Structure 1
């Protein structure tokens, strides 16, 4: 299966599958598999996209 994180672009909303307490985050950048996300409850986090597969959020009320 192709890397779905590669499709994430700045402005998209995501959730961390192992950290639902962080809330919904907005992708800030996605460069070379390193994804920077600003989460509502955790703040800015840089994620290794080869280890964590972020879940896109299409309903902003989540």
Structure 2
């Protein structure tokens, strides 16, 4: 999947780092997606290496 499949504002999770919590896409260019995670902060992710998982913020409500 190319980064253009992710748009700024989309919510995601990193499958290999669940402790990072919910992330929100900040930018997506080519295979590079910048995500701001709840418990990790801003991270640049190469989606040719890591397949982000779509998420919903209400999943964390409770």
User: Normalised by the size of structure 1, how large is the TM-score?
Assistant: 0.86
Gapped regions of structure 1 (runs ≥ 5): none
Q: Write 1 or 2 for the structure with the bigger share of helix.
A: 2
- State how far apart, in whole Å, the 1-side matches of 2:4 and 2:55 are: 15
TM-score by length of 2: 0.86
Q: How many residues align?
A: 60
Tell me, which stretches of 5 or more residues in structure 2 are unaligned? none
Runs of 4+ aligned residues of structure 1 deviating over 4 Å after TM superposition are: none
Q: CA deviation at 1:7?
A: 1.3
Q: Corresponding residue for 2:50? A: 52
**Counterpart in 1 of 2:14?**
16
Contact 1:16 1:54 in 2 (8 A): yes
Aligned with residue 28 of structure 2, among 23, 30, 37: 30
Whole-angstrom CA distance in 2 between matches of 1:4 and 1:60: 26
